[in-house]
């Protein structure tokens, strides 16, 4: 896996891990697409989904914004998805 993908996955992990109660169920995977963009998938326990989404989606939206800002320095497109 590309170093930038690992760094972005680490950033997402650092943001999400303190939010969830079931830390053993947290899985964050980064994939590089054929077009060079990066997809980061977050899987959490069903009881923690609401905490990661936040009120009106504010938390997941902030995570996406921070991740895109970090990736923009490298000129890479990134998308963060919460898999339920």
Domains of the chain: 3-83 (3.30.300.20)
What's the pLDDT band for 2 if we cut at 50, 70, 90? confident
Q: How far apart are CA 68 and CA 37, in angstroms?
A: 11
25-81 confidence digits (pLDDT tens): 999 999 999 998 999 999 999 999 999 999 999 999 999 999 999 999 889 999 999
5-35 confidence digits (pLDDT tens): 999 999 999 999 999 999 999 999 999 999 9
Q: Give Cα separations from 23 to 26, 27, 30 (angstroms).
A: 5, 9, 18
Give this prediction's pTM. Answer: 0.91
């Amino acid at each position: 896996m590309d170093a930038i993908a690992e760094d972005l996955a680490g950033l997402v992990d650092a943001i999400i891990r303190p939010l969830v109660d079931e830390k053993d169920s947290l899985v964050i995977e980064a994939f590089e697409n054929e077009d060079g963009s990066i997809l980061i998938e977050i899987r959490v326990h069903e009881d923690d989904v609401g905490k990661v989404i936040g009120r009106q989606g504010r938390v997941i939206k902030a995570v996406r914004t921070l991740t895109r800002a970090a990736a923009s320095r490298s000129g890479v497109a990134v998308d963060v998805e919460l898999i339920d």
